[in-house]
Amino acid sequence: MLNIRYELTKNPKQLPGKDDPLKFGTIFTDHMFIMNYETGKGWFDPRVVPYQPVVLDPSAMVFHYGQEVFEGLKAYKTEDGRTLLFRPDMNAKRENNSNRRLCIPEIPEEDFVQAVKAVVKTDEKWIPTKPGTSLYIRPFIIATDPFLGVRPSDTYQFIIILSPVGAYYPEGLNPVKIWIEDDYVRAVRGGIGETKTGGNYVASMAAQMKAHEEGYSQVLWLDGVERKYIEEVGAMNIFFKINGKVLTPKLNGSILPGITRNTCLELCREWGYPVEERKISVDELYEASVNGSMEEVWGTGTAAVISPVGHLRFEDKVMQIKDGGIGELSQKLYDTVTGIQLGKIKDTRGWTVEVK
Question: In angstroms, what is the minimal distance from the CB of 301 to ligand PLP?
Answer: 4
Strands 5-6, 83-86: pairing kind: unpaired
Question: In angstroms, what is the minimal distance from the CB of 90 to ligand PLP?
Answer: 7
Element counts in the chain: helices (H) and strands (E): 8, 18
Which amino acid, residue 121? Answer: K
Question: In angstroms, what is the minimal distance from the CB of 311 to ligand PLP?
Answer: 20
Nearer to ligand PLP, 139 or 301 (CB): 301
Nearer to ligand PLP, 117 or 196 (CB): 196
Nearer to ligand PLP, 258 or 308 (CB): 258
Nearer to ligand PLP, 111 or 232 (CB): 232
- CA torsion through residues 18, 23, 25, 27, sign: negative
Residues that bind ligand PLP (CB under 6 A): 72, 196, 200, 232, 235-237, 256, 258-261, 300-302
Q: With H, G, I as helix, E, B as strand and everything else as coil, classify residue 272.
A: coil
Which amino acid, residue 287? Answer: E
Alpha-carbon gap, residue 305 to 307, rounded angstroms: 7
Alpha-carbon gap, residue 48 to 132, rounded angstroms: 27
Q: With H, G, I as helix, E, B as strand and everything else as coil, classify residue 292.
A: coil
Judge contact between 48 and 120, C-beta under 8 A.
no
Strands 42-50, 5-6: pairing kind: parallel
Question: In angstroms, what is the minimal distance from the CB of 115 to ligand PLP?
Answer: 18
Nearer to ligand PLP, 95 or 123 (CB): 95
Question: In angstroms, what is the minimal distance from the CB of 303 to ligand PLP?
Answer: 7
C-alpha angle 98-178-247 in degrees, rounded to nearest 5: 65
Question: In angstroms, what is the minimal distance from the CB of 195 to ligand PLP?
Answer: 9
C-alpha angle 98-103-104 in degrees, rounded to nearest 5: 70
Nearer to ligand PLP, 158 or 286 (CB): 158
Nearer to ligand PLP, 163 or 300 (CB): 300
Question: In angstroms, what is the minimal distance from the CB of 204 to ligand PLP?
Answer: 8
